[in-house]
Structure 1
């Protein structure tokens, strides 16, 4: 069966966030999928299985399955359209552990329809401030992650987290954000997931399901242009609409292979 590696939330090879995408010819067991994800050693490997009205979609890091992933969903849609398995004008539907998600083309961007994952203020986890090494302006959490606002974009760029300490926090990941310092961007972020085997994720679509409503409350707007400040960097168009988050990005295929 074919296995592609696609860089998501970028239009340049070797930027954005790479995801492996595998279209299954028959259902596979959880351990088999976990083994493939471990072999790929990317932040996410996506497995698609055809259904009558869409695709079942599951996401695995090298060490465990996760409930929501943006960049591997975007990569999956790109794969289905680029290979001609699905016509480019068709809206795609994915059944996932976070319910039905969809993807559609908007010129040369792919728009994902994702759940809104609002954070609420929470008690600061004991090792958090020490692990990040910066003053925290806000700390909140949702069902998956802890979100932290810090003073400046410069602080985010210079972060050198203690991943051993971050991994002890009971959350999928730590999302660190601030206002953007350069136009046309509204906010920036870096995202750390050592608890699920990914110290830093290059570009994290699902994190923006929390970042969007957080910055909506601070900036008083529903449309955002966001940048994730990893070494590879990535750009996302983000919109809140009818209680959902629309995430738009681009993608480029860098590897076409065969899983034997």
Structure 2
């Protein structure tokens, strides 16, 4: 059995920036166990599996090397890039049926615009195990799917460190920890960490901006914001808070294209 394979960099115009995702179109789903094994073998933050339902309509699933996710922004952007540039390049819009509902991605002057769920956070208490793992205490703690820790400055985010042994005492399932502050050259900056995960820090996390954009939009009095994620690879995102969703936009570029040969042994 062979499966087409694309490795795409999302939220960057450079193949050495942003966040990498493997995108694998298939005619029928393989077993969950095999999809997870493939994601582990791919060894990037996320593998996206596509199954075509109709022209411009695909079922989409996301797997990290550890588990299936309920939502992944950068792999959705990467999947849209593959559909609109490789599979059906005559289209300007693609729809994905996912665990988080139907997600629509369109071409625009910003690159690709994704309509993602609004996950406005609420104030929360930080679990003791998480609090003890941080090298600095946040000014605010909020919670949606992910914990969001708010700091005073971009430098706080850049210098943020966790004690991995203490951090990994907490299991947040599909959630993680967002670290954020006002940006120096943009509206806000962030980083994203997941306890007990193969990849501790996610390079660029589109889904985190479902929470970041509503928070910073309310705090800054803006509906349109520019954001940067300050991992080693860095990434740039445009966020717009709409009435019923968050629009997250960015660039994507293909790094690799090929074929995976499966013997399932």
Tell me the TM-score normalised to structure 2 length. Answer: 0.93
Deviation at 1:81, TM superposition (A): 1.5
Q: Which residue of 1 is the match for residue 246 of structure 2?
A: 245
Q: Name the CA distance, whole Å, in 2 between partners of 1:222 and 1:249.
A: 17
> SS state of the match for residue 198, structure 1?
coil
Q: Which residue of 2 is the match for residue 51 of structure 1?
A: 53
Q: Name the CA distance, whole Å, in 2 between partners of 1:11 and 1:82.
A: 15
Q: Name the CA distance, whole Å, in 2 between partners of 1:91 and 1:242.
A: 21
Q: Name the CA distance, whole Å, in 1 between partners of 2:169 and 2:127.
A: 9
Change (3 A) 1:137 1:202: same
Q: Which residue of 2 is the match for residue 36 of structure 1?
A: 38
CA contact (8 A) 1:3 1:23 kept: yes
- Once the two structures are superposed, what CA deviation does each residue of 1:173-221 show, in whole Å capped at 9, x if it has no partner? 0000000122xx1000000013343200000000000000111121111
Q: Name the CA distance, whole Å, in 1 between partners of 2:259 and 2:121.
A: 41
> SS state of the match for residue 196, structure 2?
helix
> SS state of the match for residue 72, structure 1?
helix
Deviation at 1:108, TM superposition (A): 5.7
Q: Which residue of 1 is the match for residue 129 of structure 2?
A: 127
Unaligned runs of 5+ in 2: none
What pairs with 1:88-127 in structure 2 (closer than 5 Å)? 88-107=90-109, 109-127=111-129
Q: Name the CA distance, whole Å, in 2 between partners of 1:256 and 1:52.
A: 23
Deviation at 1:140, TM superposition (A): 1.1
- Once the two structures are superposed, what CA deviation does each residue of 1:5-44 show, in whole Å capped at 9, x if it has no partner? 1000000111100000000122211111101000011110
When the two chains are superposed, the root-mean-square deviation of aligned CA atoms in Å is: 1.3
Q: Which residue of 1 is the match for residue 228 of structure 2?
A: 227
Q: Which residue of 2 is the match for residue 139 of structure 1?
A: 141
- Once the two structures are superposed, what CA deviation does each residue of 1:212-232 show, in whole Å capped at 9, x if it has no partner? 011112111111000000000
Q: Name the CA distance, whole Å, in 2 between partners of 1:147 and 1:170.
A: 15
CA contact (8 A) 2:171 2:195 kept: no
> SS state of the match for residue 194, structure 1?
coil
Q: Which residue of 2 is the match for residue 202 of structure 1?
A: 203
Q: Name the CA distance, whole Å, in 2 between partners of 1:243 and 1:197.
A: 34
Unaligned runs of 5+ in 1: none
CA contact (8 A) 1:129 1:136 kept: no
Q: Name the CA distance, whole Å, in 2 between partners of 1:31 and 1:97.
A: 18
CA contact (8 A) 1:134 1:150 kept: no
**Alignment partner for residue 18 of structure 2, among 16, 19, 24?**
16
Runs of 4+ in 1 over 2 A off after TM superposition: 87-90, 127-130, 163-171, 194-198
Instruction: Please state if 1:60 is matched with 2:83.
Output: no
CA contact (8 A) 1:44 1:61 kept: yes
Deviation at 1:88, TM superposition (A): 4.5
Tell me the TM-score normalised to structure 1 length. Answer: 0.95
Instruction: Please state if 1:76 is matched with 2:79.
Output: yes
> SS state of the match for residue 200, structure 2?
strand
CA contact (8 A) 2:27 2:51 kept: yes
Greater Cα shift, 89-98 or 42-51: 89-98
Deviation at 1:152, TM superposition (A): 1.2
Deviation at 1:163, TM superposition (A): 2.6
Aligned residue pairs total 256
